[in-house]
Amino acid sequence: MKKICVIKGDGIGPEIIDEALKVLKVVRNDLEFNECLMGGIAIDTVGECLPQATLDCALSSDAVLFGAIGGEKWDNLAREKRPESALLKLRSSLGVFANLRPAKVYNDLLSLSSLKDEIVKDVDLLVVRELTGGIYFSQPRYKNENEACNTMKYTKEEIYRIAKIAFECALKRRKKLCMVDKANVLETSALWRELCSELSKEYPSVELSFMYVDNAAMQLIKNPRQFDVILTENLFGDILSDEASMVVGSIGLLASASIGGKVGLYEPIHGSAPDIAGKFIANPIATILSAALMLRYSLNDEDNALKIENAVARVIKDGYGCADMSFVKHKLNTKEMGDLIAKLCVQ
Ligand code: IPM
Ligand code: MG
């Protein structure tokens, strides 16, 4: 049996995770799911956002599947007590420094994107986001009555290991790597550039380019097809991956894999969407695709990962979608979408 630590979290988290579990159960019968508390629900139940039991379970599992956390109810807590802090601590404790966020446009549903069809057609890019360093984690950080401070710090090792993953990803794809930074202003970016240039000597077949983040934000909507792999630091990656989701058409479709540490963490890139929680209208596809990534990267099960991804592509091709997908022919609720994908996985 493979042990999967399941963290449903808050808002739509439980609804979407249930559908991912449904799909996983039809493709594999050797998974043991252990549910753990994290986020707002953990604060309400046991008084802390990341209970030790959750951390222990995550660290002793083969993979962690995570839904979403956070909500207005907990927004006024001190920063380190908020649900978001639990997620950051989990990422950091697992050591998952590499966050892979694929954004692939479904050519059967180009109208989903707010951009023109001819701009988004064939877009297939991967954001490789550094996840456990930079301004999210560096010291000093503080806030007092008069001032507040955050720091963006990166060591050579932190840059080197994420860059290596990005080069490896590019090697398996179209062999284009674009490093996104702010080297015209930031010292950290200058170091990133130096190390990437050095590392590129080991990957002569990968074409390395550099782009400033403001330009990248523009290029992503001007001509997203120019990108294959985008490598970037934590905060820029957070922002650009949300932007990339709009190229695809809905944030409800984008999955992510966080790897490089002891145990992989798999989560949709969207949040807990408290406004629609409990209505069963949330799109479970991003979470189902995250489960596919879990099979691929943590369980080495490419066959079933592909089976799930193909089922999702088929559903979209056949005109099915959820509330977030405005132009689809057949609107499904959360459970119906999970059922349909699960059914296609066994056909
Ligand atoms: C994401 C989210 C998180 C992040 C938040 C919830 C802390 O926006 O996974 O992109 O900023 O990393
Ligand atoms: Mg984000």
The pLDDT of residue 314 is: 97
Catalytic residues: 136, 182, 214, 238, 242
Give distance in angstroms: CA of 178 to centre of ligand 2.
20
87 Cβ below 6 A of ligand 1: yes
pLDDT of residue 149: 98
What is the per-residue pLDDT for 327? 81
- Which parts of the chain are beta strand (E)? 2-9, 31-36, 63-68, 98-104, 124-130, 142-143, 148-149, 176-181, 207-212, 229-232, 255-259, 264-268, 320-321, 330-331
Give the model's pLDDT for residue 223. Answer: 98
- Tell me which of 97, 99, 238, 245 to substitute to probe ligand 1's pocket, judged by most ligand atoms within 8 Å of the beta carbon: 238
**pLDDT for the residue 9:** 98
The residue whose CA has the least distance to atom 7 of ligand 1 is 84
DSSP structural state of residue 236: H
Q: Which atom of ligand 1 is nearest to the CA of 84?
A: 7
Q: Point out the ligand nearest to the CA of residue 129.
A: 1
Does ligand 1 lie within 6 Å of residue 84's CB atom?
Answer: yes
pLDDT of residue 57: 98
Spell out, as residue ranges, where the chain has pLDDT lower than 50. none
pLDDT in tens, 309-321: 999 999 999 999 9
Q: Whose CA is nearest to atom 5 of ligand 1?
A: 84
pLDDT recorded at residue 347 = 86
For ligand 1, say whether the CB of 10 is within 6 Å of any of its atoms.
Answer: no
The reported pLDDT for the residue numbered 345 is 97
Q: Which fold has domain 114-248?
A: Isopropylmalate Dehydrogenase (3.40.718)
Q: Closest residue (by CA) to atom 9 of ligand 1?
A: 269
Beta pairing class for 207-212 and 124-130 = unpaired
The pLDDT of residue 47 is 96
Looking at domain 1-105+250-347, does it have CATH number 3.40.50.10480? no
What's the whole-model pTM score?
A: 0.96
Question: What's the token pair of residue 346?
Answer: 């066994």
Pinpoint the residues of the chain covered by CATH 3.40.718.10: 1-105+250-347, 114-248
CA–centroid distance, 102 to ligand 2, in Å, is 14
Q: Do the beta carbons of residue 59 and residue 262 sit within 8 Å? A: yes
What separation in Å is there between the alpha carbon of 238 and the centre of ligand 1?
Answer: 6
- From the CA of 88, give the closest atom in ligand 1: 7
